Amino acid sequence: MKKNSTLALFAAFIAFTTFSCSSDDKSEENTGGSDTGKTKYIITATTGATGVADYLLTADDVSTGSITTVGNGIEQDGTYRYYITAENNFFSLLYGQGNPGAVTTYNLNASGNLVKKSNFQAETVHVFAAVNSDILTVKVPRSGASIASMYKIDAKESLIKGEAQQDTKVLAGNGERAFFTWATQVGDKVYMPYMSIKGDGVDNFGTVNPDSTWVAVYNYPELKLQKVIKDNRTSYLGAYFTKGLFQDENGDAYGFSGAIATSNSVLVSKKPSAVVRIKKGTTEFDQSYFFNVEEKSGGYKISSTSYISNGKFLLLMYGNAGKNNGAVKLAVVDVYNQTFKWATNVPETLTSATSRYNITSEDGNSAIIGINTPEGNWIYTVNGTTGAATRGMKVEGGQITAIQKLKY
């Protein structure tokens, strides 16, 4: 029973939140027509139909009303799609199950309509992040060859403009292989947290190194490894397809660990789920800072994280199946003051949530998140200070998988 409970908990960490991800636009440039100063929201929703990924829906306001996939939106092809916004372009990446997949670029025209800009083929990747005016993507092997391939895509021109490689076994240096969880631009460098995994088809994501934290530092645009930042107060940052490192407005970087490392499908992390910090201008973990979120939450673990602003984050938390029924809850934290609050006015039962990569409200004080429940699917706004959630637009005809916005 103990093993089964642990397996269920780990599976929930991987499966609960939707894998359709998006990232905040890093540029003010408008490539979609005349600049009206207006913003339109892009909402992706899946009907669950075989062979169909998502529908792309657009709305001027997500705080009220309803929208539907029935007879509406732009249908995406393929089963799995992932999303990222950069240079005011919206990129839809097809996960090709190991094979190359289509990358389709959209933007808004002068009338605010979502239109296709380009379409090209790229490798199926596990990491994609906006860096400068590029999108950095990384294909990370879990078995066979140990070379991770990094691609730089010009976000304005939608063209691959460079590639670099990293031997993940050499990077790990411990008999296992490094598996990048995500990439984050920190200053003029790229910080790439990774987990250590056995790989090679034998307990692929298991490890004998569950309670260490690693961040590989690369220069950019050369993508040459400069250093690995290490710590052992918690486990790896982020998770598979999940960002775990964020830079704030002060230039400091905060890392979030779920402490969910396994071996032979059994949870083996001994350290708490926590937040660590790398101060601006340094390449070391700040030993004076440690935010024990698991303790503050009463035994819950971090599953995914979204940055709001000014040190405020929205967290999706999982409970221990044997301790608190494995409940799934939303919370807000202030990493500056190390305060923790459960979100209020949230549905009691969540089927899934778009909590991996959401957007911030226009006033910068709240996170906008899609919440799917057995009763229906809505877009909520969660205040980063109070934790109070406000229900907005209802999405009908499909579950919400991502939310983003573009200017036109």
Secondary structure of 227-265 as H, E, C letters: EEEEECCCCCCEECCECCEEECCCCCEEEEECCCCEECC
Q: What is the DSSP letter of 170?
A: H
pLDDT score recorded for residue 320: 75
Q: What region does 259 belong to: left with phi over 0, alpha with psi -120 to 50, or beta?
A: left
Length of the chain: 408
- Report strand pairing: 339-342 vs 328-334: antiparallel
pLDDT score recorded for residue 63: 95
Judged against a pLDDT cut of 70, whether residue 64 lies above it is answered with yes
Q: Mean pLDDT check: name the lowest of 48-62, 158-172, 375-389.
A: 48-62
Interatomic CA distance for residues 124 and 78, integer angstroms: 13
List the beta strands (DSSP E) in 123-239: 127-131, 134-139, 147-154, 159-167, 177-180, 184-186, 189-197, 213-219, 225-231
Which ranges of 234-389 does DSSP label H, i.e. alpha helix?
Answer: 293-296, 321-324
Half-sphere exposure of 99 (CA within 13 A, CB side): 4
Greater confidence (371 vs 325) lies with: 371
For the chain, the structural domain boundaries read 2-407
pLDDT score recorded for residue 15: 47
- For residue 273, CA distances in Å to 232, 302, 341 come to 12, 6, 16
Judged against a pLDDT cut of 80, whether residue 172 lies above it is answered with yes
What are the helix and strand counts (H, E) for the chain? 4, 32
Mean pLDDT across 291-315: 96
Judged against a pLDDT cut of 80, whether residue 308 lies above it is answered with yes
pLDDT score recorded for residue 288: 98
> Distance between terminal CA atoms of the chain?
55
pLDDT score recorded for residue 233: 98
The CATH number that domain 2-407 falls under is 2.130.10.10
- Report strand pairing: 66-68 vs 389-396: parallel
List the beta strands (DSSP E) in 310-388: 312-318, 328-334, 339-342, 352-353, 359-360, 366-373, 376-383
pLDDT score recorded for residue 325: 65
- For residue 154, CA distances in Å to 118, 124, 128, 133, 365 come to 12, 17, 13, 7, 31
Instruction: Tell me the per-residue pLDDT of 32-56, one tens digit each, with 9 for 90 and over.
Output: 444 668 899 999 999 876 656 689 9
Judged against a pLDDT cut of 90, whether residue 81 lies above it is answered with no
pLDDT score recorded for residue 4: 42
Q: Mean pLDDT check: name the lowest of 7-16, 197-206, 392-401.
A: 7-16
Judged against a pLDDT cut of 60, whether residue 25 lies above it is answered with no
Q: In this structure, what is the dihedral angle of CA atoms 14, 100, 136, 352, given to the nearest 10 degrees? A: -30
Greater confidence (102 vs 273) lies with: 273
pLDDT score recorded for residue 80: 78
pLDDT score recorded for residue 37: 80
In percent, the amount of the chain with pLDDT more than 90 equals 73
Q: Which tokens hold the place of 304?
A: 């995914």
- Residues in CB range of 350: below 8 A, 6 or more apart: 16, 328, 330, 371, 372, 373
How big is the chain by its Cα radius of gyration, in Å?
20
Q: What is the DSSP letter of 27?
A: -
- For residue 384, CA distances in Å to 147, 242, 308, 343, 364 come to 40, 21, 7, 9, 9
Judged against a pLDDT cut of 70, whether residue 268 lies above it is answered with yes
Tell me the residue type at 51. Answer: G
Instruction: Tell me the per-residue pLDDT of 113-154, one tens digit each, with 9 for 90 and over.
Output: 999 998 888 887 889 999 999 999 999 999 999 999 999 999
Interatomic CA distance for residues 143 and 223, integer angstroms: 23
Greater confidence (298 vs 48) lies with: 298
Element (H, E) at 6: helix 2-15
Element (H, E) at 84: strand 81-86
Tell me the residue type at 10. Answer: F
Q: How confident is the model at residue 3 (pLDDT cuts 50, 70, 90)?
A: very low
Interatomic CA distance for residues 74 and 212, integer angstroms: 43
Q: Which tokens hold the place of 109?
A: 């025209």
pLDDT score recorded for residue 312: 97
